[in-house]
Structure 1
């Protein structure tokens, strides 16, 4: 099985949230595997930097939770755009719920609706939704985020069955706490609320992982590449954890 530069040669790919974190790592890995990657995001500077660094061939500026711009045809879609906010449940208002559902669930659905007709037309497509361990278990103080990620997994499982006979697979990756801007923000919040130092705050997150560490974005990206390979055609509708054994 070739994971090198020819594995996905010439296949057009779209990565949402592709300017940073897991999305950028996915764009880089897919480009290394030969795909022609377009990154989508809200901030032009990191998207342009991704292209200049060779992680992508081009970019589209847009917000998945808003009105989508025209999207290029793609055979591979990675929905990596996401956001996390924490609050006790009784302090979560409609606006917070709207933000969490908008980015993490409805935004992914909107992008899929835009590109799926092209995949069905060619009889080939790979859709990989980046969820979270919060798609398969609960964590306190992130009810809206967890509900949105559970919804993303439900979307994945249902759509996978709907398109199973038409050459398209739909899968979900469920990373544990990953070394990204979102986790850095979580560490800062823990420090601010508890007065703990950075090492103690990070330990609060790494304790969830039996390996005692944060997942690296490149580890998630490697799983994305696998799910996009021709040899992964029988992998459909799964929730694949990348979490060091966290249950």
Structure 2
């Protein structure tokens, strides 16, 4: 119960990586606000655990984020742990990329992290204990074919983490990014379906293509990301700051 008495907020907490991290933090004693756009899904998940609390919030909407985070802090206290996980991954070859798609990706994947962190940190004193974690991607450290907007957004997240770690250096608050490869989540299911349709292969074959993009040739599981996030929130990681931690089955950068 390392985090008993602490309030954590996890965006995109209703499914996949976000849900895994939220459950892990709740099991460690934290009161966890899980956010997302699908309130029914969030409430369904929260009903299964007394320390999970549903909050409908769109990270691309600045006023919605500020108001949502403020209401969560009023209900459960300052947000000591913030996991900016919400994101979208919609592939598009550069020649077909539109400005609307580019801006939509940036609004969720990059602006969303900025807005979430800023609102969460406003609930804390500057010298307070805190753990700010962004879920970036291995695409934040290398190029990802046919996903220029996604790649650029995830590079931006890592830049934000590095800048914040310098700005708050010496405080009892750390900023880190987790950079997974392909994880067995609904996002991979959706991307596999797109690949299957475009390349005329089965869904299983498409999933195999994504698995082979990881260095160890298999999909990651959410518990691997959860374990990393919990470690970053632990006292043992108090000197880990400004890092982009790769989870991709082998050396990447």
Same fold (TM > 0.5)? yes
What is the Cα deviation at residue 203 of structure 1?
1.4
SS of the residue 1:126 aligns to:
strand
Give the alignment of 1:166-181 within 5 angstroms: 166-181=171-186
Give the alignment of 1:10-159 within 5 angstroms: 10-54=5-49, 56-66=51-61, 67=63, 68=65, 69-71=67-69, 72=73, 73-121=78-126, 123-159=128-164
Match of 1:160 in 2: 165
SS of the residue 1:58 aligns to:
strand
In 2, the alpha carbon distance for the partners of 1:46 and 1:175 equals: 24
Match of 2:231 in 1: 226
1:198-232 CA-to-partner distances (Å, cap 9, x unmatched) read 22111111112232211111110111010011221
SS of the residue 2:4 aligns to:
coil
In 2, the alpha carbon distance for the partners of 1:79 and 1:56 equals: 19
Choose from 194, 197, 209 the match for 2:214.
Answer: 209
In 2, the alpha carbon distance for the partners of 1:181 and 1:56 equals: 24
What is the Cα deviation at residue 79 of structure 1?
0.5
1:94-142 CA-to-partner distances (Å, cap 9, x unmatched) read 1101111011100110011111133344521000000000000011100
On the 8 A contact 2:22/2:52 being kept in 1, the answer is no
- Aligned residues, how many? 242
TM-score w.r.t. the length of structure 2 is 0.92
SS of the residue 1:75 aligns to:
strand
**Inter-CA distance 227–44: structure 2 relative to 1 (3 Å threshold):** same
1:127-178 CA-to-partner distances (Å, cap 9, x unmatched) read 0000000000011100000000000000001101111212110000001000
Of 43-52 and 66-75, more deviation after overlay is shown by 66-75
Match of 2:244 in 1: 239
In 2, the alpha carbon distance for the partners of 1:11 and 1:122 equals: 16
SS of the residue 1:170 aligns to:
strand
SS of the residue 1:207 aligns to:
helix
TM-score w.r.t. the length of structure 1 is 0.94
What is the Cα deviation at residue 57 of structure 1?
2.6
Aligned alpha-carbon RMSD (Å): 1.3
Of 223-232 and 203-212, more deviation after overlay is shown by 203-212
On the 8 A contact 2:57/2:68 being kept in 1, the answer is no
Does the alignment pair 1:190 with 2:195?
yes
SS of the residue 2:124 aligns to:
helix
In 2, the alpha carbon distance for the partners of 1:121 and 1:52 equals: 34
**Inter-CA distance 224–8: structure 2 relative to 1 (3 Å threshold):** same
